[in-house]
Amino acid sequence: MSSKLILFVCTGNVCRSPIAEYLLKKHLNGAGRWVVGSAGTCALENQPPTPAAVAVMAEHGIDISGHRSRPLTRQLVEQARVIVAMTAAHARAVSLLYPPAVEKTFVIGSFDDSRDEDIEDPIGLSDEAYRRVRDKIARAMPGLASFLNALE
C-alpha cells in the first residue's frame, strides 16, 4: 500500500465500500497517484460482493465481481491518507481503532450536498435499494475527487 491510499469503510465490505471503491476508480480513470481500497469494520476475509451489488454496478459497466472482502485493521488505518466511511458510526469505529485517524476520516456525504448523510446498508433489500445506494455514493465522487486532487 501507499501513503496515497484512500480507504472506503463499511460494515461487511461486500456492497457499500466496494461500490464506492470501484466508482472512484472509474471516476479517477487512472489519473493521479491514488491507490483506492476498501475494508469492513465487521468483514470476514475473502468474501465476494453481494450479487445485487455486482448487478447494479454492471448496469454502469463496472465489474466488481473480482472484489474480495477484508477486515479493517489498524495497519490499513495507519497506511491510509484518507478514510471515507459510509456512515458516522463507521467513522467512529475507525477512530476507536486508531484515535489519530479522526483527522483523516470523513463520512462520504460530506463530499456532496447531503452533508454527512449516511449510506444505508442495502443487505437483504431489493436491487432498487442497491441502485439508490450506488447513486448516492456516485453523487459524492466529484467532490471527493476534487478533495483528493487538492491533497496531491
Q: Which of 15, 16, 112, 134 is catalytic?
A: 16
Q: Which of 81, 92, 116, 121 is catalytic?
A: 121
Active site residue 113: no
Active site residue 42: no
* Secondary element (H or E) of residue 133: helix 127-151
DSSP per-residue letters across 32-74: SS-EEEEEETTPPTTPPPPHHHHHHHHTTT---TT----B--H
* Secondary element (H or E) of residue 17: helix 16-28
Active site residue 10: yes
Estimate the crossing angle of helix 51-58 against helix 127-151, to 10 degrees.
70
Q: Which of 10, 15, 70, 134 is catalytic?
A: 10
Q: Residue 81 and residue 144: Cα distance in Å, rounded? A: 13
Q: Residue 44 and residue 71: Cα distance in Å, rounded? A: 6
By the 8 A CB rule, do 74 and 37 touch? no
- Active-site positions? 10, 16, 121
